[in-house]
Amino acid sequence: MTDQSLLERITAQAEIMDGKPVVRGTRLTVPFLLGLLAHGATVDEILEEYEGLTREDIQACLLFASRSLEQTSFLSSVREAI
């Protein structure tokens, strides 16, 4: 599956979840799903809990986050912390 086809699974509309990025056709936000993964939930556990969600949807969340972070600079934050 191409990056573009994965990213098309993520949408953001002002009237849905206050404009947060969600998996298309759901109210599951990218930050929510990433938080589940960060706290140790497996992909299989998430898929069992949220019927209709696919492995590709979770891959899309990871790619979306990766692309979003590419456009963010952390150097100034690191300097302020020192």
* 17-50 pLDDT, tens digit each: 999 999 999 999 999 999 999 999 999 999 999 9
| Distance (Å) of CA 10 to CA 59, 77, 80, 81, 82 | 11, 28, 33, 33, 36
Query: Average pLDDT in the 69-81 region?
Result: 69
Confidence (pTM): 0.85
DSSP state of 23: E
